[in-house]
Structure 1
Amino acid sequence: MSEYDFIIVGAGSAGCVLANRLSEDGRYSVLLLEAGGSDLNFWIWMPIGYGKTFYRRSVNWMYHTEPEPNLDGRISYWPRGKVMGGSSSINAMVYIRGQAGDFEDWKAMGNPGWGWDDVLPFFRRSETNDRGGSDIRGGDGPVHVATMDRYLHPMCEDFLRAGEEVQFPRNPDFNGPSQEGVGTYQNTAKGGMRMSAARAYVRPARKRPNLKVVTRAMTTRILFDGKRATGVRYIRRGTTHEVRARREVIVSAGAINSPQLLQLSGIGPGALLQAHGIDVVRAAEGVGRNLQDHLAIDFLYRSKVPTLNQQLGPWYGKLRHGLHYVLTRKGILSLGVNQAGGFVRSRPGLTRPNMQLFFSPVSYTKAVPGKRALMSPDPFPGFLMGAQPTRPTSRGHLEIRSPDPMAPPAIHPNYLGTDIDVQEMLEASQIMRRIAAAPALQRVIESEILPGPQVQSDAEMIADIRARAGTVFHPVSTCRMGPDPVRDVVDARLRVHGIDGLRVADASIFPTVTSGNTNAPAIMVGEKASQMILDDHRAGPAGGAGPSVRTGDCVRETPVSAPFQTA
């Protein structure tokens, strides 16, 4: 059986960070297992290409939820990355850390070391911002964060002026001292190409002799000796392998796959595991519970002036901009679709913003539900505004359907499960109507297509929300961090309660969803987890003076010294 100091399950936003940081000083051998394949794919690296990867099973788990009673029984489509880089390889690339108050909330929930001052150094450590480093922004980290203003559509300025006209301040940096206001988004990109976690963290580490990367390796079970995790079992090309972890197994498979793997391995709700004939290693009711996600509503407008529809719709437009991008890595194809937006308060009396806004100078009314056909927009000039409450109070859950690791779990988001979430979604719709009515946008709006002028009353707007609202793909909290071993899954050092040698480090550990896009905080979790793990093992086994293994010590299926094996 092959042995490594650390086994990391999942090469997503956090797992790639862990692979880099745990291997960089050469003292420990590290195995990174990824169920998907290589990220060397044109549609992954081209920023606007993520519209293509949304429905590509070769790079995407393509999950679906159960019918949602509060969304008129609709099923939601949940794309998740099944590829090197995980969802950072197929997302919209918006870089948002969240509000300082989000992390103060985490600390107040019984998680010492996770307040804003605690996590800020790890955000800075991960980032190279093209505006330069500062006391709040990173200047020399692996993840390049790019300002896209030079290529933004002129209608973004109309949106920003409209926001100011309804008394929302303009904010030059949503990741600066304050998140509040309207402005333009920065993307995780460098040189006109996507900056995924794989590109940022794994590629620079590919020649390290103590790092082995195995792709198309579906981890099916964590192995235990009593209450200690000792390794994992995985399937690759029809063959089952077992590998042993001398120090720790670290699950970084994401908010869906991490709780699924724990449950399949015997850690989860006892009755659920017994019903599927799975031996219970530890009954942990919190595994798969506390699921949160951002739900958004879009408003669609027909424009009096040209939008990206006219640039990307005709064949000659696709050809022109495609050639420009291939030759220069610049232009509109080097951008994500969410170009502008903001964080605002929907009502008086709030201490911080509770809404995130999106502005996209493109529209697509005939796309398959859940799919953003970015290269096939509407034939008429159109644009979208969207809004989502940043801190929903509803909680859902997910659970395995069977002991078959290849079967997708049953996902129950429980959207709009509380009155406050319904009220805030109504306020989100009302905010977009306010912005659209401002003079700067009235000058360019020909008509509101969706929901349409016939939708006016609160009841009509809520009915529209139930009929059309959808996820923005930010599931978190299914292996929640917290001090209670009954309700929570991991402690403040991300160790699974009641189990030795096992941690979870990804968006599943978020105590609550952050105020904004979740990729940046997931990367931060990887950075902070890496430091905690190295600190905990610095003294060596049983308090000894050194590491348990040197580079090249491990028994292995293929030589660890071979560079960056990803066959």
Structure 2
Amino acid sequence: MPDTARAPTDFGTFDVIIVGAGSAGCVLANRLSADPSRRVLLIEAGKSDNHPWVHIPVGYLFAIGNPRLDWGFRTAPVPGLNGRSLLYPRGKVVGGCSSINGMIYMRGQAQDYDGWRDAGNPGWGWDDVLPLFRRSEHHFGAADAAHGTEGELRVERQRLNWPILDEVAKAAQEMGIPLAEDFNAGDNEGVGYFPVNQKRGIRWNARKAFLYPARRRPNLAILTECHVRRLRLDGKRVTGVVFTRGDALFEAKANQEVVLAAGSIGSPQLLELSGIGRPEVLARIGVPALHALAGVGENLQDHLQLRTIFSIRGAHTLNDRAATPWGKAGIALQYAMTQSGPMAMAPSQLGIFTRSGPAHNRANIEYHVQPLSLDAFGQPLHRTPALTVSVCNLRPTSVGASHAASADPLASPEIQPNYLSTDADKQVAADSIRHARRLMAQPHLARYAPTEIKPGPGPDDDAALARLAGEIGTTIFHPVGTAKMGTDEAAVVDPQLRVHGLAGLRIADCSIMPTIVSGNTHAPAVMIGEKAAEMIIAAGKV
């Protein structure tokens, strides 16, 4: 029986209902429930994070694509990727993507946020958001103007060492790239090891950081394995949500507001299932249009990574260390005894932020250098020593969309990132492959005889390299922008994160980014949760 043909059971009335227990949702639940007079409901479609591959850092290799932990979305065929469709991981678990991501703590560049502010979003400049980053941070160093040490989100140094990565870092400096003392002070240009969201070699996701301390508050209700089907609208006001738990249908009401924190794919899909969005999209899926909003699902931006691979000699990588049963047993024993070594690895250890060419006035590409190689996530490691030298365009100009493909809330959305659809992005892609080749050809690395495996030797002209980029490019899991913040006709939320034209509804996740940040997206998602909580608390005092 369809939802519209049966009456939901009343689940009760709350002040604030949060949809999604991901990076931002967990922050919101913690901050809003800190006031015992405010009743908060947090609804998550995924299960608990009590799965070993969530907590063991190297488990990301097995979490991505695992239906217990990942929604398992795929993109539509992407013309710029020579018609390939990509796996598009999204966390299906408490903690959201922070439970399956690369654990890299990266804020982006000050100019990213200043650009948001200057585009008509007051309160979102670097000086405005820096205190929010500091508030949630439990940094490994001393507290200073850039970092906080009293927050809940652990930020630590990695607990492993690969001498070959030290050599790559020296090669980068040989190219003129400076050693980075701190990637998170506003200018991330340089080479260094990524700081990670771990606690002594164990993943520190948003659930551990923010939800666990608040879990026993009597004014906070946390539901898992509950799928929100649609928002309830009373005219132009959102009054609650309808959700399922198993076969049962429930309705929860919100006195103050509903906050969508379901991510850049989930939030626009839920808006559309509720009749909020582009009329032509709603008509296509057979949902009555209750509130036309042209920007819903549009403006999708993501970082495309180009995974170049080089075989090496004379140094160890995970490929050869894990090639034998004895090697694997030694790695497991090291982690069991010390929570260090390869099993404590974040997906990428060494980072480089630099410029793909002289036309750029700040770092526009990011390297993720890994002491391993494989054909794809979930597939076996190559057996001989090799490095994966991934490069991504930090500020792509290609823009796509993500829309509900059906009125069925459990159906996968249609995701079209439109990677490499602009000449500017093709140029950066070509220059990035050349840059990676130059890095690995530095004299400092000559003793390791790096040999390019992927994409492999071939023509060096721009058009040929853009085609190669289409063959090796894949998502680095940073979708943003599908409910962008602003005041123009394409904006979905205003600078207070309120959905344009509707009362009682905000969005607080990476979908609100007008433009993508120049780095990884988990730390910005936490910051967005902090800022949204401030706004909601302030609104409740009026």
Question: Normalized against structure 2, the TM-score is what?
Answer: 0.96
Q: Which residue does 1:534 correspond to in 2?
A: 537
Q: Which residue does 1:348 correspond to in 2?
A: 358
Q: SS of the residue aligned with 1:203?
A: helix
Q: SS of the residue aligned with 1:186?
A: coil
Provide the C-alpha distance between the structure 1 equivalents of 2:449 and 2:466, rounded to a whole number of angstroms. Answer: 24
Aligned residues: 531
Q: Which residue does 2:6 correspond to in 1?
A: none
1:508 aligns with 2:511: yes
- C-alpha distance 353-285 of structure 1, shift in aligned 2 (>3 A): same
- C-alpha distance 272-177 of structure 1, shift in aligned 2 (>3 A): closer
Shift of 1:151: 1.3
1:111-166 Cα distance to aligned partner (Å, 9 max, x none): 00000000000000110111222110111111000111x51211111111110111
1:341-399 Cα distance to aligned partner (Å, 9 max, x none): 2110121242211111111011113x4xxx254xx421111111111110001110121
**Seq. identity, %:** 44
Provide the C-alpha distance between the structure 2 equivalents of 1:177 and 1:131, rounded to a whole number of angstroms. Answer: 17
Q: Which residue does 1:443 correspond to in 2?
A: 447
1:205-255 Cα distance to aligned partner (Å, 9 max, x none): 111111110000000000011110000001111111111011100000000
Provide the C-alpha distance between the structure 1 equivalents of 2:217 and 2:479, rounded to a whole number of angstroms. Answer: 33
- Whether the 8 Å CA contact 2:108–2:186 is kept in 1: the answer is no
Q: Which residue does 1:559 correspond to in 2?
A: none
Q: SS of the residue aligned with 1:432?
A: helix
Provide the C-alpha distance between the structure 2 equivalents of 1:211 and 1:228, rounded to a whole number of angstroms. Answer: 23
Provide the C-alpha distance between the structure 1 equivalents of 2:15 and 2:181, rounded to a whole number of angstroms. Answer: 44
Provide the C-alpha distance between the structure 2 equivalents of 1:421 and 1:351, rounded to a whole number of angstroms. Answer: 16
Shift of 1:3: 0.8
Shift of 1:426: 0.8
Q: Which residue does 2:7 correspond to in 1?
A: none
Q: Which residue does 2:420 correspond to in 1?
A: 416
- Whether the 8 Å CA contact 1:361–1:384 is kept in 2: the answer is yes
Match for 2:316 among 306, 319, 322?
306
Q: Which residue does 2:139 correspond to in 1?
A: 129
Task: Letter of the 1:222 partner, please give it.
Answer: L
Provide the C-alpha distance between the structure 1 equivalents of 2:388 and 2:405, rounded to a whole number of angstroms. Answer: 37
- C-alpha distance 372-443 of structure 1, shift in aligned 2 (>3 A): farther
Provide the C-alpha distance between the structure 2 equivalents of 1:456 and 1:345, rounded to a whole number of angstroms. Answer: 19
Matches within 5 A, 1:364-383: 364-365=374-375, 367=376, 371-373=377-379, 376-383=380-387
1:315 aligns with 2:325: yes
Q: Which residue does 1:6 correspond to in 2?
A: 16
Question: Normalized against structure 1, the TM-score is what?
Answer: 0.92
Q: Which residue does 2:121 correspond to in 1?
A: 111
Task: Letter of the 2:184 partner, please give it.
Answer: N
Match for 1:479 among 445, 460, 483?
483
- Whether the 8 Å CA contact 1:252–1:504 is kept in 2: the answer is yes
Match for 2:458 among 435, 454, 461?
454
Provide the C-alpha distance between the structure 2 equivalents of 1:471 and 1:276, rounded to a whole number of angstroms. Answer: 27
Task: Letter of the 1:30 partner, please give it.
Answer: V
Q: SS of the residue aligned with 2:231?
A: strand
Q: SS of the residue aligned with 1:454?
A: coil
Q: SS of the residue aligned with 1:515?
A: coil
- Whether the 8 Å CA contact 1:31–1:211 is kept in 2: the answer is yes
Matches within 5 A, 1:11-90: 11-90=21-100
Task: Letter of the 1:475 partner, please give it.
Answer: P
Q: Which residue does 1:469 correspond to in 2?
A: 473
- Unpaired segments ≥5 residues, structure 2: 1-9
Provide the C-alpha distance between the structure 2 equivalents of 1:488 and 1:459, rounded to a whole number of angstroms. Answer: 35
Task: Letter of the 2:520 partner, please give it.
Answer: N
Provide the C-alpha distance between the structure 2 equivalents of 1:172 and 1:88, rounded to a whole number of angstroms. Answer: 25
- Whether the 8 Å CA contact 1:166–1:435 is kept in 2: the answer is yes
Q: SS of the residue aligned with 1:461?
A: helix
Q: Which residue does 1:239 correspond to in 2?
A: 248
Shift of 1:177: 4.8
Q: SS of the residue aligned with 1:151?
A: coil
- Unpaired segments ≥5 residues, structure 1: 540-567
- Whether the 8 Å CA contact 2:263–2:510 is kept in 1: the answer is yes
- Whether the 8 Å CA contact 1:172–1:184 is kept in 2: the answer is no
Task: Letter of the 1:250 partner, please give it.
Answer: V
Pairwise CA RMSD of aligned residues?
A: 1.2
Q: Which residue does 2:155 correspond to in 1?
A: 145
- Whether the 8 Å CA contact 1:152–1:339 is kept in 2: the answer is no
Q: SS of the residue aligned with 1:187?
A: coil
Shift of 1:334: 1.3
Q: SS of the residue aligned with 1:286?
A: coil
Provide the C-alpha distance between the structure 1 equivalents of 2:33 and 2:18, rounded to a whole number of angstroms. Answer: 11
Q: SS of the residue aligned with 1:298?
A: strand
Task: Letter of the 2:478 partner, please give it.
Answer: H
Task: Letter of the 1:473 partner, please give it.
Answer: F
- Whether the 8 Å CA contact 1:151–1:332 is kept in 2: the answer is yes
